[in-house]
A and B are shown apart, each in its own frame.
Chain A
Amino acid sequence: MFNTASTTPEKILQMFAALLLFAAVMGVILFIAGRFGGKRGDKVVAYLYLLPAVLLLTVGLVYPGLRTIYQSFFDAAGSSFIGFDNYSTIFSDKDQLTVLRNTVFWVVVTPFVATAIGLVYAILVDKSRFESVAKALIFLPMSISFVAAGVIWKFVYEYRPDQGNVKQIGLVNQLIVWLGGKPIQLLIETPLNTFLLIIVMIWIQAGFAMTILSAAIKAIPDDIIEAARLDGVNAWSMFRKITLPSVQPTVVVVLTTIGIGTLKVFDIVRTMTGGNFETSVIANEFYRQTFNADNQGLGAALAVLLFVLVIPIVIYNIRSLRRSEAS
């Protein structure tokens, strides 16, 4: 039951066995909980209900997290203590600095562009006849995997050598050719390639921004709009003085949320360039150092750096979420 299942019937059998085992464990917990009553029993019931979650979280999340922090102060093999050396490598090594620079590009560009496009689009299609279809089109990329998105865009950026009868099969290079230019090896050209990868993330996240901002726009009270309209406000100042201030707290939440997601981006880079040609980012570098370069210490330090960078954005995110709910 705990072996590797290799045929499909074996796999299905193992799945049902696992589910049964799990149901049995839950059954035992509920059975014991059912035998306790009254005020003092309440406490026992609560702890029993929390037991599986606390156990899994302690073993699977808290301990590993602390262990990784500890490991980040050790060398590649994980055997000798080297203090903050891994962290100073991240901030001094040439390749690592490229990784940091790329991550900054990602985190600065993606949230703002995706949110701007999402906001504009939400306003444009608001209350139009095709609103739901129009929204679904933009939102659809959100449901597919980053890997599939990477494949889709890799095809858009595909390059064929510029010679004789060879025709371009990638849309971007074909457009360049149509406009009289020479095809470019888009995913190899640095730093253009990083921005081309960022476009994929924008493509995915704009739908998220649009959905949330659209809800915020619809929540603007009618009387404010009516008052402004009676004052004869024009479109631009309506947008600047009514729409934007009203959705501003939501915009902040959207920006920070996309920022957090972008910080951890991995699949897109891995699928499209493998982090080669100076396109690596922290999350990809973590994987490369840990598994390909066999440098566990540096890998751990990169993971911890990711964690440290996420914290301030999350705190800001939660605070603005509170503020937007309060207003």
Chain B
Amino acid sequence: MSTATPVTTPPLKADKIGAAGIAKKRLSSPWASIAAIVIAVLWTLPTFGLLVSSFRPERAIKTTGWWTFFSDPTTTFENYSKVFGEEGGVNLAAFFVNSLIICIPSVLIPMSIAALSAYAFAWIKFPGRNILFLVIFALQIVPLQVTLIPLLKIFVSIDITGTFWTLWLSHATFALPLAIYLLHNFMREIPSGLIEAARVDGAGHVSIFFKVMLPLLTPALAAFGIFQFLWVWNDLLVALVFAGGGDEVAPITLQLANLSGTRGTAWHLLSAGAFVSIIVPVTVFLLLQRYFVRGLLAGSVKG
């Protein structure tokens, strides 16, 4: 057979270890690695347990722990077909569609409105600019709870309750302070020479916005767009208040929460349902990690 090759570890470059590196190394490496592995396992195990369960038959889930799966591996896709189909009474497919229908305008509308406003704040001088910007910035901290009931009454009075409009309008509004702030900061960093050159060439604010600003703005728009998409996709509170009445417009989180409330022990449905609901955010996270983190950091105070 092959001879064992000696494990060669590259010599650590002393000047590139970093403070944490030294702290870790001196904390005696094996313990550090063990601690890191323990945390990582603890963090992964809850999700893993439910994921395994979602592929086990209903009877097995209800009578034995998911860890017995490894000594008695029986798998099935029945849980998934049950939560998706209409006969199980869960019908997640329809709620999945609702979530998408809610999300798309709830991202695009505030994004475009905020891009215009941010442009005005960043590149046009007008009276009251600073104070108005400060007010919008401060609005970020308003908790949604404070706005929900009066907003609901407005929706009742213009007769759009129980439609997607309530969710589109409220999500768009709630997103604006963060979006304007984020895009404004980004636009300020674009060299003013670019704008001035365009102005000298006779371009107005409309064409500067589209031809100079928008192409440069892509990373900021992506960061905000992803953050907002996940925020809306994962939202429960706004959906409960404005779409709680009927199944027609309720998003997937709402159905999952209802399922957990009314059929709290139906783990074959809950496990599969939970994974159907997280497949979208997890995919977005894995594919667009960089933008995702950036948007998340910027929007951490929202809500």
Which positions in A face B, CB cutoff 8 Å?
2-6, 8, 11-12, 14-15, 18-19, 22, 26, 29-30, 33-34, 36-37, 42-43, 45-47, 49-50, 52-54, 56-57, 59-65, 67-69, 71, 117, 120-128, 134, 136-148, 150-156, 158, 167-171, 174, 203, 206, 208, 211-212, 217-218, 220, 222, 224-226, 228-229, 233-236, 238-239, 242-243, 246, 257, 260-261, 264, 266-267, 270-272, 274, 283, 286-287, 290-291, 296, 299-300, 302-304, 306-307, 310-311, 314, 317
> When chains A and B are docked, how far (Å) is the Cα of A153 from the Cα of B246?
28
| A-binding residues in B (CB < 8 A) | 14-27, 32-33, 35-36, 39-40, 43-47, 49-50, 53, 61-67, 94, 97-98, 101, 104-105, 108-109, 112-114, 116-117, 119-121, 124-127, 129, 132, 136, 139, 141-151, 154, 159-160, 162-165, 168-170, 172-174, 176-177, 180, 204-207, 230, 233-237, 240-241, 244, 246, 248-249, 253, 256-257, 260-261, 264, 267, 270-271, 273-274, 277-278, 281-282, 284-286, 289, 292-293, 296-297, 300-301, 303
Return A308 CB to nearest CB of chain B, in Å.
10
CB distance from A272 to the nearest CB of B (A): 8
Closest A residue to B270 by CB, please name it: A151
Q: How far is the CA of A209 from the CA of B20 in the complex (A)?
A: 16
Cα A54 to Cα B135 with chains together (Å): 10
Given contacts A18-B164, A169-B267, A307-B146, contact A151 B274 (CB under 8 A): yes
Contact A211 B176 (CB under 8 A): no
Q: Which of A2, A12, A243, A310 contacts B143 (CB 8 A)?
A: A310
A275 to chain B, nearest CB (A): 11
The count of A-to-B residue pairs whose CB atoms sit within 8 angstroms is 378
In the complex the two chains form, what is the Cα distance from A311 to B32 in whole Å? 39
Beyond A57-B176, A124-B32, A235-B25, whether A303 also contacts B18 by CB under 8 A is: no
Q: How far is the CB of A62 from chain B (nearest CB, A)?
A: 7
Q: A206-B43, A238-B22 are in contact. Are A49 and B127 (CB under 8 A)?
A: no
Known A60-B173, A64-B147, A123-B23: A46·B237 in contact at CB below 8 Å: no
Interface residues of A, dominant DSSP = helix
Task: Choose from A61, A235, A287 the contact partner of B142 (Cβ within 8 Å).
Answer: A61
Which residue of the partner chain B has the closest CB to A212?
A: B297
Instruction: Determine whether the beta carbon of A65 is less than 8 Å from that of B142.
Output: yes
Report B-chain residues with C-beta under 8 Å of the C-beta of A283: 143, 145, 237
